[in-house]
Amino acid sequence: MSLIIAPSMLSADFAHLSDDIRMVNESRADWFHLDIMDGLFVPNISYGFPVVKAIAALAEKPLDAHLMIMNPDRYIDRFAEVGVSWLSVHYEACTHLHRTVQHIKNAGMKAGVAINPHTPVSSLEEIIPYCDYVLVMAVNPGFGGQSFIPTTIDKVAKLYAMTEKSNPDCIIEVDGGVNEANMASLAAAGAKAFVAGNSVFTAEDPSAMIAKLRNLSL
């Protein structure tokens, strides 16, 4: 099984963003992970369309945007316009999640649903058949560099059993505190895509770390 590594640009050096984009382009990474925060759904503000556009102009790999914002429907079409191809919204931020997922697909993107650490995977039972991916938060969203919550591994295993039953094509992505110590266990539990912020960008050789993570197999 080939794993997907998505370096989180939240941990990049924003004063030298083009250098970090080039590093990801030239590395064995699969996607760029873009964290969008509104200061309401999460206690932090990250970056918006001007930065996403700048990344899109240089990125040679798909953009995976993770919306940590309330009422994300307002911005779905604009994310498609700026070149995002994988878009996730939070279960906890959407009143009409099925409608939102359809909106993302109609805009031509892959649709993901993200869940916070406290949200049980059972909440996703009715939406999994419609999802291209589920993003499991392994930290409370809002900041890079936090510690991995170990119970996420069991959560992924439970979710994997659900996806196998109702939508085997649904990819499980894990986000938050992912590193070389926990990635193999997450992959064994059924995760396929891995967001890595600090573990990549604080490594002495970020590109080598990406290759190392990508090679971790079952």
- In the list 66, 103, 192, 214, the residue contacting Zn ion (rule: CB under 5 A) is 66
Give the H/E segment covering residue 104.
helix 97-106
Whole-number Å distance between alpha carbons of 97 and 86? 16
Residue placing its CB nearer to ligand DX5 in the complex, 111 or 196: 196
Half-sphere exposure in the Cβ direction for 201 (13 Å, CA)? 24
| Closest among 126, 195, 191, 116 to 159, alpha carbons compared | 191
**Minimum distance from CB of 68 to ligand DX5 (Å)?**
6
Binders of Zn ion among residues 169 to 208 (CB under 5 A) are 175
- Which residues of the shown chain bind ligand DX5 in the complex (CB under 6 A)? 8, 10-11, 33, 35, 66, 139, 141-146, 175-178, 195-199
Phi/psi-derived region of residue 181, left when phi > 0, alpha when psi is between -120 and 50, beta in every other case:
alpha
**Closest CB to ligand DX5 among residues 11, 27:** 11
**Least Å distance between CB 72 and ligand DX5?**
14
Give residues in contact with Zn ion (CB under 5 A): 35, 66, 175
Catalytic residues: 35, 175
